[in-house]
Amino acid sequence: MRTQKFLSVPVLLFAAASLFSSCKKDDAPSQSCRIITISASGSDPINFTYNADGKVSSYISGKTSITYAYSGNNVVSNETYNGAFSQKKIITNGANGLTTNVKTETSANGSTWFNDSYEYNGTQLIKATTTFSDGSQPTVNIIKWENGNMSTLTNGNNITNIEYYTDKPAQQGDYLDLIQKIQNVNIYRTKNAIKSLFSGGDINTYEYTFGSEGITGLKMSQGNSTTNYTYQHQCN
């Protein structure tokens, strides 16, 4: 399983994910338990390890292995597949921990790449732009917010509407947290846990199960397809 495919949703074109967001999340469960394994039937489990600072130090899933090197707020991610180069990411974070730029090199010599840049209003992501080494037309996503949550994402003529659980705060293990965790970026700081995405005639829904560690599982439905993910935690 390649990292770009796991939990991918076509309408979230700039899907990414985190070390646990440092913003205040009212009434969220304690984050003293870390997710160390994500499993789903028919797929290779994803295993995370952490360094002494509580940051993800490695990601392993099947033949895919990623290691992370930290320097201040910035990260270099090196990914291999079956032991061979897959891609390298250079992640730049601002002083507030939010990711401002991710350059993904898809060739070992760095000659082919794509670059994601992120613009914010305070801590709210308002624009994401992807440029390409071959000079292709950049991709631009515009994001609007309501009540502390992203409400719409616009990419050209495509509009995605986003719905949330108003009684569930954003927290470790919700969908946005997972896609950020897998990509090791921090771009979404929403108030609540995401419930569904609507784009054209497509709908994607997310249901959570809870335990003493917080969220322990995710049921993700896309059209007629449903996948259940379960988490293993390591608690202090």
Q: How many domains does the chain have?
A: 1
Q: Domain for residue 199, yes or no? A: yes
CATH number reported for the structural domain that contains residue 107 in this entry: 2.40.160.190
Cα(74)–Cα(97) distance, integer angstroms:
9
Residue 224 CB-density burial (10 A; 0-12 exposed, 13-18 middle, 19+ buried): exposed
Q: How many CA atoms lie within 13 A of 71 on its CB side?
A: 5
pLDDT computed for residue 31 by the predictor: 52
pLDDT computed for residue 15 by the predictor: 36
CB atoms within 10 A of CB 10: 13
Q: What is the pTM of this model?
A: 0.86
Domain that holds residue 133: 33-235
Q: Domain for residue 223, yes or no? A: yes
Q: Is residue 184 within 8 Å of 49, Cβ to Cβ?
A: no
Task: Going residue by residue through the chain, which has 236 residues, state the pLDDT in tens, using 9 for 90 and above.
Answer: 333 333 333 334 333 222 222 233 344 444 589 999 999 988 999 999 999 999 999 999 999 999 999 999 899 999 999 999 999 999 999 999 999 999 999 999 999 999 999 999 999 999 999 999 999 999 999 999 999 999 999 999 989 999 999 999 999 999 999 989 999 999 999 999 999 999 888 899 999 999 999 999 999 998 889 999 999 999 97
Q: Domain for residue 144, yes or no? A: yes
pLDDT computed for residue 211 by the predictor: 94
For the chain, the distance separating the N- and C-terminal CA atoms, rounded to the nearest angstrom, is: 30
pLDDT computed for residue 125 by the predictor: 95
Q: Domain for residue 27, yes or no? A: no
Q: Domain for residue 18, yes or no? A: no
Q: Domain for residue 5, yes or no? A: no
Q: Domain for residue 124, yes or no? A: yes
Q: Domain for residue 167, yes or no? A: yes
